[in-house]
Amino acid sequence: MDVFTFLVGGKAGEGVKKAGNAAADLLASRGLRVFQMDDYQSLIKGGHNFSVVSASMREITSHYMRANLAINLDARSYDIHRNHLAEGGIAVFNSDLVKEGEGVGMPFTSEAKRYPDPGLRVGLGAVATLAVAVGMSAEELNKFVSSAYKRGLENNLAYAAAIHGKASPLLGGKFKLEKGGKPLPMLYGNEAIALGAAAGGLDIYIAYPMTPASSILHVLASHSETLRLAVVHPENEIAVANIAIGAASAGARAMVGTSGGGFALMEEALSLAGMTETPLLCILSSRPGPSTGVPTYTEQADLKYALGQGHGEFPMPVASPGNSQEAFYLSAELLALAWRFQTPAILLTDKHTSESRMSVDIDASKAARPEPLMHSGGEYKRYLDTKDGVSPLLFYPSKELVKWNSYEHDEKGITIDAPEGIARMHDKRRRKAQTLLEYMKSQRTVNTYGDGDSVIFAYGSTTMSVLEAVRHGKLKAKVVQPIYLEPFPVWEMERYKGARSVAVEVSSTGQFATLLKEKGNIDIDKTILKYDGRPFEPAELAAQLKGAL
């Protein structure tokens, strides 16, 4: 079996996501590469949640929507997912809630009722059933539960054992999975962003909660003591951005994170960072918009928005990671870049990268680190008009005067309004943008994968879907993923001119395709769009790509 897919569906508050997590860990612990996608609604209890976990001996960068084993913990999930089966797939339903279901019935609820908090425990039933289906013994399951379900462990062990017993005759060893090599850890995109920035020297993280960026805050808050990080959740996003800018001006590597609506509130501060030349890394994790939109789903519709932020003219790099692993390194890299060029920088991502989880192989010591140009003594001028536009830094408290200024200013940071001074500082910032551009030309700004005459362009989370579709469909094509969207790596695009080109993105207007056309001068032959809040499904996308290539 190339890919094994497990799906678990049920109500929010019944441990569905936890079950997805545990299932992924279970498969990963056997040395498989795993991809986990959690689908949940904007509510706390009830409704319909599900997690899909796809695993393979090879690299895997997407879940599949046809499951080999689909376990539905309630009737609604059963109705929704009963047909989401791969060939030979097995549907398991909760026989307490679904009367005449097709597939294998398991009494998840009535078994759970023997213990306190039955609602919370049914998810574990799904995991135990998976364990049976992939041939784990009762002892192996026992060991796994001991590490994965520590809270209320005794009852958990008993419940899991009971389910194991009931499921074994029905499903025992139905799926023979190979055993892989050394197990890899798994990370959510947001965990990767948080830890990557920390590895890159983050000092302070300021954020106000907003899905799908909130978990960056949660992860960093939970590790703030061990990692020696300042983590603050203030009154609103305006405070977030301005506190972060203040902190950066005093030398702290600062980061903020939010989604579209909160990011809008930071826009004034982004322009402030542009003018004052404050290094600031902003994480923008998108969801379907406009406005409040669909908070817990995904979309790549904030590209133009990210590129157009902030009034006036100043350099601001924007980059988007293609998966969790890249997110780790990219957040450190952008932090370093922000400090190198004293600019705001945006890491653009979306729910699908932020809140999906995948196997990673990370060397944290390889994270980039900020090495800002520092003042080396003598009279200090905050905005020294250097050849490359980058002025040395000096942090207060200091004997020398250090003045950062949101007004147009002279080299010392004092406000001006005379024409020569205005033009001069515009020139300085433009030269800095030029220096940044030249620097980017020496950096990796584009990923390419595979080979073939045709080119598939994708960025951000959709890269994962495209790569998996190419694997699934065994497509002959080169996949090109611009990591940097600003400065847009036009110098890397030359070579793709004239090739048959397809652009793939989760957006209704094709903003990425427009960027490729307008900035990259690429003739896109076909644009494949999706905009229903869900990421591409690799098998479906493979079929679409086949038609387009």
Partner 1 sequence: MDDLTTYCENTWCPGCGNFGIFSAVKSAIKKLEARGVPRERLVMSAGIGCHGKIFDYLALSGFYSLHGRSMTTVQGIKLANPDAKVLTFAGDGDAYGEGLEHMLFAAKRNADITVIVHNNGVYGLTVGQYSPMSRKGFKGPSTPRGSIEEPLNPLAILLEAGATFVARGYSGKTEQFADIIARAVEHEGFSYIDVLQPCVSFNDTYKLYNGLVEAVAEPAKTREEAIRLAKRPDKIPIGVLWQERKEPFHGSLYGDWNPVAKRMPRAERVKIIEKIIRGD
Ligand X SMILES: Cc1ncc(C[n+]2csc(CCOP(=O)(O)OP(=O)(O)O)c2C)c(N)n1
**Whole-angstrom Cα distance, residue 61 to residue 55?**
9
The least CB distance from residue 211 to ligand X, in Å, is 6
The least CB distance from residue 210 to partner 1, in Å, is 7
Question: Binding residue for partner 1 (CB under 8 A) from 52, 128, 198, 493?
Answer: 198
Question: Binding residue for ligand X (CB under 6 A) from 20, 196, 200, 262?
Answer: 262
209 binds ligand X per the rule CB under 6 A: yes
Site for ligand X in 221-240 (CB under 6 A): 237
How remote is the C-alpha of 279 from its chain's centroid? 22
The least CB distance from residue 54 to a copy of itself, in Å, is 19
399 binds partner 1 per the rule CB under 8 A: yes
Q: Which stretch binds partner 1 (CB under 8 A): 85-93, 211-219, 461-469, 537-545?
A: 211-219
119 binds ligand X per the rule CB under 6 A: no
> What SS3 state is found at 36?
strand
Nearer to ligand X, 286 or 323 (CB): 286
Q: Which residues of 49-59 are buried (b: 16+ CB within 10 A; e: fewer)?
A: bbbbbbbbbee
| Residue with tokens 């805050």, as numbered in its chain | 217
| Residue with tokens 């870049």, as numbered in its chain | 337
**Whole-angstrom Cα distance, residue 25 to residue 53?**
10
**Whole-angstrom Cα distance, residue 385 to residue 424?**
8
**Whole-angstrom Cα distance, residue 329 to residue 336?**
11
Site for ligand X in 19-48 (CB under 6 A): none
Give me the long-range contacts of 87-94 (CB less than 8 A, separation at least 24).
Answer: 90/133, 90/171, 90/174, 92/126, 92/129, 92/171, 94/122
* Residues contributing to the site for a copy of itself (CB under 8 A): 41-42, 238, 260-261, 263-265, 267-268, 270-272, 274-276, 286, 288-297, 299, 301-302, 304-305, 307-314, 406-408, 416-417, 419-420, 422-423, 426-427, 429-430, 433, 507-509, 511, 518-519, 531-534
Check if the beta carbon of residue 122 is closer than 8 Å to that of residue 108: yes
| Residue with tokens 């994480």, as numbered in its chain | 283
Question: Binding residue for partner 1 (CB under 8 A) from 24, 127, 133, 187?
Answer: 187
The least CB distance from residue 107 to partner 1, in Å, is 23
47 binds partner 1 per the rule CB under 8 A: yes
Which candidate, 96, 143, 148, 146, places its Cα nearest to that of 119?
96
Q: Which amino acid is at 170?
A: L
String of DSSP letters for 4-33: EEEEEEEEETSSHHHHHHHHHHHHHHTT-E
Nearer to partner 1, 198 or 548 (CB): 198
Query: ∠ CA 497-498-504 to the nearest 5 degrees?
Result: 75
| Residue with tokens 């699908």, as numbered in its chain | 352
Site for partner 1 in 250-289 (CB under 8 A): 250-252, 254, 261, 268-269, 272, 276
The least CB distance from residue 399 to partner 1, in Å, is 5
Q: Which stretch binds partner 1 (CB under 8 A): 209-217, 342-350, 421-429, 455-463?
A: 209-217
**Whole-angstrom Cα distance, residue 164 to residue 137?**
8
**Whole-angstrom Cα distance, residue 349 to residue 485?**
12
491 binds partner 1 per the rule CB under 8 A: no
431 binds partner 1 per the rule CB under 8 A: no
The least CB distance from residue 417 to partner 1, in Å, is 10
Q: How many CB atoms lie within 10 A of CB 152?
A: 15
How remote is the C-alpha of 517 from its chain's centroid? 26
118 binds ligand X per the rule CB under 6 A: no
The least CB distance from residue 481 to partner 1, in Å, is 24
**Residue 106: both structure tokens together:** 């398991």
Nearer to partner 1, 327 or 503 (CB): 327
Site for ligand X in 264-283 (CB under 6 A): 265
The least CB distance from residue 474 to a copy of itself, in Å, is 28
Nearer to ligand X, 24 or 301 (CB): 301
83 binds, among a copy of itself, partner 1, ligand X, none (CB under 5 to 8 A by kind): none
Estimate the crossing angle of helix 189-199 against helix 324-341, to 10 degrees: 40
307 binds, among ligand X, partner 1, a copy of itself, none (CB under 5 to 8 A by kind): a copy of itself
Verify cis geometry, omega within 30 degrees of 0, for the bond prior to 209.
no
| Residue with tokens 């479906």, as numbered in its chain | 540
The least CB distance from residue 327 to partner 1, in Å, is 13
- Cβ neighbours for 451, distance < 8 A, ≥ 6 positions apart: 476, 478
Nearer to partner 1, 62 or 242 (CB): 242
Q: How many CB atoms lie within 10 A of CB 139?
A: 10
261 binds ligand X per the rule CB under 6 A: yes
289 binds ligand X per the rule CB under 6 A: no
Site for partner 1 in 349-378 (CB under 8 A): 360, 362, 364-365, 367, 369
152 binds, among ligand X, partner 1, a copy of itself, none (CB under 5 to 8 A by kind): none
Question: Binding residue for partner 1 (CB under 8 A) from 88, 150, 291, 379?
Answer: 291
200 binds ligand X per the rule CB under 6 A: no
**Residue 239: both structure tokens together:** 């405070």
Nearer to a copy of itself, 412 or 534 (CB): 534
| Residue with tokens 């139905």, as numbered in its chain | 174
**Whole-angstrom Cα distance, residue 353 to residue 323?**
6
347 binds, among partner 1, a copy of itself, ligand X, none (CB under 5 to 8 A by kind): none
139 binds, among ligand X, partner 1, a copy of itself, none (CB under 5 to 8 A by kind): none
Check if the beta carbon of residue 195 is closer than 8 Å to that of residue 324: no
Which residues contact ligand X by CB under 6 A?
208-210, 237, 261-262, 265, 292
